[in-house]
Chains A and B, each alone.
Chain A
Amino acid sequence: MSTTTPVGTAPRPGAVVPTSRRERRARQMNRGNPLWGLLAWVVGLLFVAPVLWMVLTSLHSETDAATNPPSIAAALTLDGYRSFFDAGPWPPLINSLSASVVSTALVLVLAVPAAYALSIKPVRKWTDVMFFFLSTKFMPVVAAVLPLYLFARYTGLLDNITYLTLLYTSMNLPIAVWMMRSFLAEVPVEMLEAAAIDGAGLIRTLRSVVAPVALPGIAATALICFIFSWNELLLARTLTAVVAGTSPVFLTGFVTSQGLFLAQLCAAATVISLPVLVAGFAAQDKLVQGLSLGAVK
């Protein structure tokens, strides 16, 4: 595609002089045809437009939000956010946060040792174990929701954020094990052997040899687990009521029947998406690694 353009364009002012092979290649592709860049911008803007529209609408008054054609330049107001925060979103937001953070921590506690036993000192038939983990993700959640509901109903666990947290842990554990295994597989075996010669125990080996190499992987795993827990709707909707409802459940009840609600809705959607947007933007590369179960680095 880029063969038609001349080779060897000088790096843009301010650009770091590329040294690696990858960057060299990237520089080769930087020849020119500005139309491709333009097209990329257009596509990018098209994809981000609904998100921008959501944010813009959230800053309009209800009347301006519901005009046709759209009032792009209408006066900005925080009324939408005011009505959102008046509706008492803090308990659900805190529930979401605690379920996501705690389940992510639990996942890591369980997944890191498991990944160790699947990569660094692998058990026999470790591939079977890996497939078993992945296979649990093939089961539609909806097929397990009734027993989970009935179990909770008869053990008093309905509307209990701890129960939801545990379920989120099991929901994310397979992905986390896959990801962590692929990261731990990168731990150089010589270092392990060196540690063994030093007479280091399992814990010390983990801490001093494995952890430094695996930390980026842990960060990626944590990010993914956090996002999936934060986004989950079906279980939360079925298993919670008054106390333990999470943000997505709160959002479903936010479409009111009194007049216009678009600005409020967009404000709510923006606030609830914000943690994920921020985390995702901050760690784009980790996102890729995470989503590909660690297969893409």
Chain B
Amino acid sequence: MLGRHTRRAALATAMSGALLVAGCSGAGGGNGGGGGGGDDEGGDRSINVIMVNNPQMVDLQGLTEENFTAETGITVNFTVLPENDVRDRITQEFTSQAGQYDVASISNYEVPFYSENGWLAPLDDYIADDAEFDQDDILEPIAAGLTGEDGSVYAEPFYGESSFLMYRKDVFEQAGLTVPNNPTWQEVADLAARVDNVQPGMRGICLRGQPGWGQVFAPLTTVVNTFGGTWFEEDWTAKVDAPEFTEATQFYVDLVRAHGEAGAPQAGFTECLNNMTQSQVAMWYDATSAAGSLEAAGSPVAGKIGYAQAPVNRTDASGWLYSWAWGVQEASQNKDDAWEFISWASSQGYEELVGAELGWPRVPAGKRTSTYANPDYQAQAGPFYQATQEAINAADPNDPGVQPRPAPGIQFVAIPEFAAMATEVSQYVSSAIAGQTTVADALGRGQQVAEQQVTQVYQQ
């Protein structure tokens, strides 16, 4: 069989050569998608959107037809996938500029290098021409993360979030305990131990353990930061097996193993949200945007949740900063329609629509100053809006820890290699949470991965 392969090598080399030439000249051009939406079938306008399956996006999907398509005549085809899946698909789509999707849910992690590589369409002209879209209303830290090196805006936020601690007021009251507004991690660990199983089947705290740089490493990296650790020093020296990183990870792993949720090594945002909603945990450290789902009408725990700032150790604040945002693929052939969709989904008008139709707690907030001044929102999102606003404002992507960093990002490092590298390390950490390996061993392997995939590339 090998013989057969080699015999045909010449022919195929020619073919692959042609492929590569096409690749060089084709970047950014051409619509690869056979069904790439757009101007087919009698002038029907449609765009294709790929997005993560977070509750806010699912709400958007439900509201689009009646409120956007009916108004504009633009049909929106959604592809909605779990977070890890959607990231793979978007990476594949944007790096090859396949043009199948016009709009994707990206974030302040991707924007810096996606824009640098020319994969995102700059939105400045659209913003300038669209008088209704109030760009200045976007919260400063959020807008900054979605602006490229060249100063152009490359994505519009759908919702922004930091992280904070959510806890069951009723359970803590019953146990005669109080959660401080600015807790330390040690306090949180002690509280988790004391509320663990005070109600049958209710664990102390939910912390993500699912592999994925955006899963376990979102909260865990904030813990590392506040314990004085970092992924990389300013000159890209990897510090994954440094004492601070190890101490933080050990703390996290011990806490979740002792008082964490059932099935922790497979639990991500979605699973924790379910655990909290189903009263299977008493506390949860995660995204501020989760509060909207917990307080939504029909949620069994609505009104029972208290909110405290992200727990700290050596820093004053430790919350992350993240925004799910809409980016337009450069290869898209429907950029105008894509902007119409974005300018609707990211507008104040959409927030008011959600407020009226689904209730204010479910509004995709954390992106606009006006939201926090809205009396309706203040009234209904009362339990959590101030804590959210405070957390977002306290987050500093450029200086999240105790040492200078080589690239921006709190719970991530905004370089293309980070996703794969941190995901691989996260698998080892997840194994440590499962008890299959030790933290030292997991991080020892993580250090090698970080050196191999990042330090060696950037120190050259």
Q: Decide if A and B touch, CB cutoff 8 A.
A: yes
Q: Which of A's residues lie within 8 Å of B, judged by CB?
A: 132, 135, 147, 149-154, 156-160, 163, 238, 241-245, 252-253, 255-260
Some 20 contacts from A to B, beta carbons below 8 A apart, are: A149-B96, A150-B96, A153-B96, A153-B98, A154-B23, A154-B32, A158-B32, A158-B34, A160-B34, A241-B35, A241-B100, A241-B101, A242-B33, A242-B35, A252-B85, A253-B79, A253-B81, A256-B53, A257-B55, A260-B274
Q: Which residue of B4, B22, B33, B55 is within 8 Å of A158 (Cβ)?
A: B33
CB-CB < 8 A to A238: which residues of B? 92
> A256 vs B59: C-alpha distance in the bound complex, in angstroms?
12
CB-CB < 8 A to A258: which residues of B? 55, 58, 293
Known: A256-B53, A259-B277. A156 touches B34 (CB 8 A): yes
CB-CB < 8 A to B100: which residues of A? 158-159, 241-242
Interface centre among B37, B98, B269 (most CB of A within 10 A): B98
Report B197 CB to chain A, min CB distance, Å: 16
B77 within 8 A of A: yes
Interface centre among A152, A159, A252, A260 (most CB of B within 10 A): A159
> A217 vs B270: C-alpha distance in the bound complex, in angstroms?
48
Closest-by-CB residue of A relative to B277 is: A259
CB-CB < 8 A to A160: which residues of B? 34-35
CB-CB < 8 A to B11: which residues of A? none
Q: Which residue of B1, B31, B34, B80 is within 8 Å of A253 (Cβ)?
A: B80
CB-CB < 8 A to B96: which residues of A? 149-150, 153
> A235 vs B79: C-alpha distance in the bound complex, in angstroms?
17
Closest-by-CB residue of B relative to A241 is: B100
B144 within 8 A of A: no
> A27 vs B220: C-alpha distance in the bound complex, in angstroms?
67
A257 near B34: Cβ-Cβ < 8 Å: no
B26 within 8 A of A: yes
> A147 vs B16: C-alpha distance in the bound complex, in angstroms?
9
B77 near A242: Cβ-Cβ < 8 Å: yes
B48 near A257: Cβ-Cβ < 8 Å: no
A253 near B53: Cβ-Cβ < 8 Å: yes
CB-CB < 8 A to A260: which residues of B? 274
Known: A135-B1, A242-B48, A260-B274. A255 touches B34 (CB 8 A): no
CB-CB < 8 A to A135: which residues of B? 1
A159 near B33: Cβ-Cβ < 8 Å: yes
B19 within 8 A of A: yes
CB-CB < 8 A to B79: which residues of A? 241-242, 245, 253
Q: Which of B's residues lie within 8 Å of A, judged by CB?
A: 1, 4, 16, 19, 22-23, 26, 30-37, 48, 50, 53-55, 58, 77, 79-82, 85, 92-93, 96, 98, 100-101, 269-270, 273-274, 277, 293
Closest-by-CB residue of B relative to A244 is: B35
Closest-by-CB residue of A relative to B35 is: A243
A159 near B81: Cβ-Cβ < 8 Å: no
Q: Which residue of B1, B22, B53, B92 is within 8 Å of A132 (Cβ)?
A: B1
Report A209 CB to chain B, min CB distance, Å: 34
B34 near A157: Cβ-Cβ < 8 Å: yes
The 4 A-B pairs at the shortest CB distance, nearest first, are namely A243-B35, A160-B34, A241-B100, A257-B270
> A260 vs B274: C-alpha distance in the bound complex, in angstroms?
8
CB-CB < 8 A to A244: which residues of B? 34-35
B82 near A154: Cβ-Cβ < 8 Å: no
A257 near B58: Cβ-Cβ < 8 Å: yes
> A238 vs B26: C-alpha distance in the bound complex, in angstroms?
20
A241 near B48: Cβ-Cβ < 8 Å: yes
> A132 vs B98: C-alpha distance in the bound complex, in angstroms?
34
Interface centre among B82, B269, B277 (most CB of A within 10 A): B82
Report A248 CB to chain B, min CB distance, Å: 13
Interface centre among B23, B34, B81 (most CB of A within 10 A): B34
Q: Which residue of B26, B270, B273 is within 8 Å of A154 (Cβ)?
A: B26
> A244 vs B100: C-alpha distance in the bound complex, in angstroms?
11
CB-CB < 8 A to B98: which residues of A? 153, 158, 241
Report B196 CB to chain A, min CB distance, Å: 19
> A153 vs B31: C-alpha distance in the bound complex, in angstroms?
9
Report A48 CB to chain B, min CB distance, Å: 27
CB-CB < 8 A to A151: which residues of B? 19
CB-CB < 8 A to B85: which residues of A? 252-253
B58 near A256: Cβ-Cβ < 8 Å: yes
Report B325 CB to chain A, min CB distance, Å: 18
CB-CB < 8 A to B101: which residues of A? 241-242
Closest-by-CB residue of A relative to B101 is: A241
Q: Which residue of B19, B30, B33, B277 is within 8 Å of A241 (Cβ)?
A: B33
CB-CB < 8 A to B30: which residues of A? 154, 156
Closest-by-CB residue of A relative to B54 is: A257
B269 near A150: Cβ-Cβ < 8 Å: no
CB-CB < 8 A to B48: which residues of A? 241-242
Known: A256-B58, A257-B55, A259-B277. A152 touches B32 (CB 8 A): yes
CB-CB < 8 A to B1: which residues of A? 132, 135
> A258 vs B299: C-alpha distance in the bound complex, in angstroms?
11
B32 near A259: Cβ-Cβ < 8 Å: no
Report B296 CB to chain A, min CB distance, Å: 10
B31 near A156: Cβ-Cβ < 8 Å: yes
Closest-by-CB residue of A relative to B201 is: A68
Report A255 CB to chain B, min CB distance, Å: 6
Report B246 CB to chain A, min CB distance, Å: 32
CB-CB < 8 A to A253: which residues of B? 53, 79-82, 85
CB-CB < 8 A to A242: which residues of B? 33, 35, 37, 48, 77, 79, 100-101
A150 near B35: Cβ-Cβ < 8 Å: no
A147 near B269: Cβ-Cβ < 8 Å: no
Known: A149-B96, A158-B33, A253-B79. 6 other contacts (CB 8 A): A154-B32, A158-B32, A158-B34, A160-B34, A259-B274, A260-B274
Report B220 CB to chain A, min CB distance, Å: 20
CB-CB < 8 A to B36: which residues of A? 159
> A245 vs B26: C-alpha distance in the bound complex, in angstroms?
25
Closest-by-CB residue of A relative to B96 is: A153
CB-CB < 8 A to B22: which residues of A? 154
> A160 vs B81: C-alpha distance in the bound complex, in angstroms?
20
Report B50 CB to chain A, min CB distance, Å: 8
Report B86 CB to chain A, min CB distance, Å: 9
CB-CB < 8 A to B82: which residues of A? 253, 255, 257
B23 near A150: Cβ-Cβ < 8 Å: yes
Closest-by-CB residue of B relative to A68 is: B201
